[in-house]
Homo-oligomer: A and B are copies of this chain.
Amino acid sequence: MTTHTVRPDSILDALAIELPSWAFGNSGTRFKVFGTPGTPRTIQEKIADAATVHRLTGLAPAVALHIPWDTVDSYTELKSYAADLGVRLGTVNSNTFQDDEYKFGSLTHTDKTVRQRAIDHHLRCLEIMTEIGSQDLKVWLADGTNYPGQGDIRGRQDRLAESLAAIYQHVGEGQRLVLEYKFFEPAFYVTDVPDWGTSYAHTVALGDRAAVCLDTGHHAPGTNIEFIVAQLLRLGKLGSFDFNSRFYADDDLIVGAADPFQLFRILFEVIRGGGLAPDSDLALMLDQCHNVEAKIPGQIRSVLNVQEMTLRAALVDTAALTAAQETGDVLAANGIFMDAFYTDVRPQLASWREGRGLPADPMRAYAESGYQEKIEAERVGGTQTSWGA
């Protein structure tokens, strides 16, 4: 129970977490998508909700788009609209899994025409990024197969490499392609980018403007995620995070909800590897599904969880830790590590917020703001957005 010299205010000030536009729309499982009053019908309404999260927390200055879900006529106007609400447009997520022609793959499809369509979609995303000043093109592919023999594993990798290269040559200065990997789902036998090794190998082959996107829910059971974080930072290839949590598969629960200590360990390695340093271009993003809980406070809870764990991770007495590690004192080293995790940082964060004109308790502030009642009253009619629209 050492008292730490708290220097991590600079880390807190630098912390910024992108919100995904789709987290404000409806989501669910293959069994059922439950609708909720007040759910946005448009990307503008999604941005308004995201801006509310930022206004109350000071943590979420950017909103990620999903194309074509968030397609608009004028991206310049959308950018201004967001700016007026105090946020900017962030990562652009491509989508090549909801058109019939992608049933058997997109960038990996055996049919060159289909591959080109998928490539073109990514080029369009890059154009949008230029229009809105976005840094990252995030490529998550649903490509894969369900049955042994259905596809040629090797051939699919070769085509993937070729397609990615075709996209990459249009990645402009100040832009990046981040390639997300996923263990399974929607493909149930082979996922074409199943692990960090695959994403790493492809992004190394592409070049410096390509990096890996790590979604915390996209791993095999038991995978040590903080190791991957440490390794990718070491290799200079950790581009971005999709934060969420899970007990079983890609459950997309609120970040930190399932295993808070894992989130602590991950953020410790992020800091250890320089991921929150001034010169870092690591992007932090949420990617969650609020299937049964309220969406806007769900996002507030999420960014607060990341903030709380970041502060705990920053509190680790690294000098003492190193000393204990070097003497092989396992219990002392673990004790120093756990001491930071068990420190209740909530009072300190409430002060930090008040010092910046933010509400001490953003969850309560949202509940008392009347915003939820307002959108439930106003957003009547139309079609609530969800993953499919």
Chain A residues at the B interface, C-beta cutoff of 8 Å = 1, 27-32, 34-35, 97-98, 100, 103-104, 110-111, 142, 146-154, 157-158, 183-186, 188-191, 194-198, 200-201, 219-224, 226-228, 230-231, 233-235, 246-249, 251, 253-254, 257-262, 265, 269, 272-273, 291-294, 297-298, 301, 308, 316, 321-322, 324-326, 328, 330-331, 333-338, 341-344, 346-347, 350, 361, 363, 387-388
Given A197-B197, A221-B222, A222-B247, the answer on whether A254 and B30 have CB atoms closer than 8 Å is no
Does the CB pair A330–B147 fall under 8 Å? yes
A154 to B224 Cα, complex, angstroms: 13
Q: Is the CB of B248 within 8 A of A331?
A: no
A346 touches B265 (CB 8 A): no
CA distance A149 to B346 in the complex (A): 20
Q: For residue A328, which residues in chain B have a CB less than 8 angstroms away from its CB?
A: 103-104
Identify which of B97, B98, B183, B387 contacts A248 (C-beta below 8 A): B183
Return the contact of A32 from the options B98, B298, B343 (Cβ within 8 A).
B98
Whether A331 pairs with B298 at a CB distance below 8 angstroms is: yes
Contacts of A246 in B (CB 8 A): 188
B185 and A29 contact, CB distance less than 8 A: yes
Taking a contact as CB atoms closer than 8 A, the residue among B186, B308, B322, B326 that contacts A28 in the complex is B186
Q: How far is the CA of A257 from the CA of B335 in the complex (A)?
A: 10
State whether B186 touches A149 (Cβ < 8 A). no
Among candidates B142, B150, B261, residue contacting A31 with C-beta atoms closer than 8 Å? B142
Given A32-B97, A197-B231, 18 further pairs, Cβ under 8 A: A28-B30, A31-B142, A32-B142, A103-B292, A146-B291, A147-B253, A149-B336, A151-B325, A153-B226, A154-B273, A194-B224, A198-B231, A220-B223, A259-B261, A260-B341, A292-B330, A301-B331, A342-B346
A257 to B97, alpha carbons, bound, how many Å?
A: 24
A322 to chain B, nearest CB (A): 7
Instruction: Check if A103 sits within 8 Å of B34, measured CB to CB.
Output: yes
A-B contact pairs, 20 of them (CB 8 A): A29-B185, A30-B30, A31-B97, A31-B387, A104-B292, A110-B326, A146-B253, A149-B324, A149-B337, A154-B272, A158-B234, A184-B248, A184-B251, A195-B195, A198-B231, A260-B260, A260-B341, A301-B331, A335-B363, A343-B344
